[in-house]
Amino acid sequence: MKGKIEIWAAAVIHALGSINELQYERQQILDKEEVKIRILSILKTDRSLTNKEIRQLTEMNQKQVQRLIKELELDGVKIVGKGARTKYIYSP
């Protein structure tokens, strides 16, 4: 009988670990959506942002910001310039 209880307890612990992982993934998705909303709201005030400014606001790295902007292009964000002078603007 002791063996079955140990197996059941291990299964419960494993399930709880999976639940925590799902909650963490869900929180990451929410955080990403919050970041998108925040960046869009700033850009909609007729202000431009640079990659560096977005990194300072979001604690993302340079590549993460580039991927984020690619996603936001569908929402009206435009990339202006190249290299270090690149700015992101909202242009519906």
Above 80 in pLDDT, residue 20? Answer: no
Tally of domains in the chain: 1
What CATH number is given to the structural domain containing 21? Answer: 1.10.10.10
For residue range 32-57, what is the model confidence (pLDDT) as tens digits?
Answer: 888 999 999 999 998 899 999 999 98
Which amino acid makes up residue 64? Q
Q: Which two tokens stand for residue 41?
A: 């709201």
pTM (predicted TM-score): 0.66
Within 8 A by CB and 6+ apart from 35, the residues are 58, 60, 68
CA distance 50 to 22: 33
Residue 5 CB-half CA count within 13 A: 2
Q: Give the structural domain span for 34.
A: 2-90
> Is-contact 36 71, C-beta < 8 A?
yes
Strand partners, 89: 78
